Chain A
């Protein structure tokens, strides 16, 4: 991976000094379906500074992908609806932006890498066509120049013999190769924010590490901010600086990777960490979070996690804790409020194997 074609951004420090690149405020995304309304994202707020990295973690169905699709405005409305919230990108609200302007943001300012490299590329066009298409559109390059740019970006994501690959169709490439193409495509217009939605989930373990390494390298080199969505705490530990933990459409905990992984506050985060199988404990039962994610049509009263929480006590079933209610305000849990009467704050073993990964 030599000969970077992606411009190194010297401006990161100055940009990050100001307001955040992306600021999501009280975002709610609901789906109107036959059986009622699913509150897939239910009032979440977070922000990313230019050039910074943020991980969004949670189980399947917690609303993390819907969050990213809401930011890109790629949801079909209806059935989806965004009844409230703001998504400020460089100070402009993406949610109220006219379609035509939003289209210019997509792919150009904010680019996205999807989970399924096998199906995310159009089978009837060559790889080069698909990369060049966005470059021609956003940067107004000629067909020839865009094609050269496609070759360069393939080279930048570590694809050997890019002159040959660029003419190939997706079915001629392996899964890892296709994900590299997706990354090349996402980076081809030098976006300011890269959203990676489970970029390694569909790949072999050996390829996963390579792709993560690649994402980290290109993020570093281009100075783009990175929003990484994953269910895998190991991936988070290796890739990002800050992390947000989501459960049933809400943010339950946020902080730096060190804080969250080494000293989790929310019982759910504790459960997630505890359920990672660790080395040297062969033959023991795996830890799981008991119970299942609540039925979206029948959310429990009070805290969404209360029915599964080993520490649940009286206030949990009565009122809904939100980020900011607690002290410090980085966890949505009654255990951390001033009025809490619980004598048992959660205590978790630090995950030393994850600590190593952080090193």
Chain B
């Protein structure tokens, strides 16, 4: 609890920095190709309090924030930032969680499998594949997948999001998971090899335990530690949405808001997403710490 409270100043600094950095960027939310009449521009600025001095706007924003109000979106007239996040987050969360789950299962197993065959053909092939997975960016993989499964084979829709129809999820989840699978496989292999060399594993083997039990009961827990520290920030990043994946598959997630809002100088939406993202990172790091404790009694949180 104390740790969670300690993160409040961090978040405040984050919000303040984001607020002022956003305003340093030239151009405003209502600068457009079609220029506005000065009178109309003034009316809009007044409606959004953009005519006030910056410090006053900052206080107004922080006041709203204290009441849980993230303000109206500048870009989507009539929508509040809270509404937009509430609409986009479940989508990103679904895709993100599914792909993290997939990455853990596939990447984890592949890593263990490779560790058990260290420096043999199986190990080399898994590591080569995972290297490919890390180096091939999703903006290459994703369009290729669409070309194959949607345009040529007509098995899956080319993109879109019909209220969580899981056929729509298949390709984005896979595309999002691929690089994570590769990372986790490499991490898992490395830490598993290290753990397998330690004394307590030798003891377990000496006891005559079958290899399966040695791995699952004894080696897995300590080998998970580095993966956990990787998972915290990655999970926060993945479930707040991947811009590239969302753009390519036309998914209404949170990730696109990040980029679109910054381009459009949608100040409140940018801040809203930054705050939300910051909160999630804090939360996930906290969860990871709790999990550390569960896996290793030595680092248990008081």
> Does B bind A?
no
